[in-house]
Amino acid sequence: MKDSIDLVNKSITDFKIDNSAALEQFRIKFLGSKSEIKSLFSELKSVPNDQKKEIGKLLNDLRIFAEETYENHKSKLETISSVKSDVDFSRPGESIQTGAHHPISTVKNEIVEIFNRIGYIVSEGPEIEDDWHNFSALNFPKEHPARDMQDTFFVEKGEREMALRTHTSSVQVRVMENTNPPIRTISPGRVYRNEAISARAHCFFHQVEGLFIDKNVSFADLKQTLLYFAQEMFGEKAQIRMRPSYFPFTEPSAEVDVSCTICNSKGCNVCKYTGWLEILGCGMVDPNVLEASGIDSKIYSGFAFGMGVERITQLKYKVNDLRMYSENDIRFLKQFTPTL
């Protein structure tokens, strides 16, 4: 009798139920009025009295096992049936969209990589700065126009005047205060200026500023460094021109233009139809700035430069309105998804 029960138990376990027809066959075979389990129960009367209790328990367990197996498969088939009514499993699946870095981040990282190749390390600092690091240590006189409200976002006034930094040159001051020459560093980050928003300007933007201080550093070193950068970023045919300018923290100073890649130097609204686009300011570090940070200007000299990442991105991707970078228009951002 026990062998018969074991055989039926194995038969239940091995029975394949993958549709409603098979489920009904299972019910008839093991739970119907003429099922194998019913047949075993009918044989219980011939079992010796001293074994009836044990065999009866085995038969009850077998019936319960068959009923649970039936109900479990019935529930699974009903679930699959309800899902199939809503979903067509023959349809191809939807592809997962590939994300992309924001173009500003992509270009900033590329700038950092270019200067890393010639030995520049990255330095960072706070976006809310005190007057010393943002202005005074950089040779800004008290009456300088950049200190006025129309250019700077002041966040606190008092004994220690604070403002949103107007350039990442403040990071360079912190580096000079805490590092002995030679110094070769770049400072990427976000800066703020109280300016009217247009296709060419915004109240916040991103800069990468560079600083090189050592013995016998010349303006020729500066020019060659910037030419190297322009050709690495825009291609071997890129040209630069330097125009005399003025910055409180450098002397002599220059504005640097690069040949416009948007119109191939033919003239467009971005380059104001000149064929050139200003990308950065630069110059030899003013001795007063070196001395203010504790560096002997009689022994050391250096150069500094600063560029707007948005302007570089405009040239690289031929975007004619920098306001698009901060509007979060998915149609615009999707254009920078990498091709796999």
**Per-residue pLDDT, 83:** 56
Give the pLDDT mean for 99-107. Answer: 86
Angle in degrees, CA 333, 334, 340, rounded to 5: 130
CA 115 vs CA 102, 134, 228, 292, 303: distances in Å: 20, 24, 9, 26, 14
Give the pLDDT mean for 245-249. Answer: 90
| Separation CA 213–CA 282 (nearest Å) | 14
312 class by beta-carbon count within 10 Å (0-12 exposed, 13-18 middle, 19+ buried): buried
Enumerate the β-bridge partners of residue 258: 240, 277
Token duo for residue 166: 């107007």
Give the pLDDT mean for 280-288. Answer: 94
**Are 271 and 277 within 8 A, CB to CB?**
yes
Q: Give the total residue count for the chain.
A: 340
Mean of the per-residue pLDDT values of the chain: 85
Q: Is the pLDDT of residue 220 over 90?
A: yes
Angle in degrees, CA 309, 313, 317, rounded to 5: 175
Q: 103-336: which CATH topology?
A: BirA Bifunctional Protein; domain 2 (3.30.930)
| Separation CA 173–CA 117 (nearest Å) | 23
**Per-residue pLDDT, 176:** 94
Q: Where are the domains of the chain?
A: 2-84, 103-336
Label residues 9-35 b or e (16+ Cβ within 10 Å = b): eeebeebebeeeeebeebbebbbeeeb
- Express each pLDDT in 123-146 by its tens digit: 999 988 888 888 888 888 888 776
Q: Is the pLDDT of residue 1 over 80?
A: no
DSSP state of 184: E
Place of tokens 């296709």: 199
**Per-residue pLDDT, 241:** 93
Q: Is the pLDDT of residue 93 over 80?
A: no
User: Phi-psi category of 281—alpha, beta or left, where left has phi over 0 and alpha has psi -120 to 50?
Assistant: beta
- Express each pLDDT in 5-62 by its tens digit: 788 888 888 888 888 888 888 888 888 877 887 887 787 777 787 877 887 788 788 8
DSSP state of 271: T
**Per-residue pLDDT, 188:** 94
| Separation CA 183–CA 65 (nearest Å) | 80
Nearest Cα residue to 305 out of 213, 209, 167: 209
Phi, psi dihedral angles at 134 (to 5 degrees): -85, -30
* 324 three-class SS: helix
| Separation CA 270–CA 321 (nearest Å) | 8
Q: Is the pLDDT of residue 151 over 60?
A: yes
91 class by beta-carbon count within 10 Å (0-12 exposed, 13-18 middle, 19+ buried): exposed
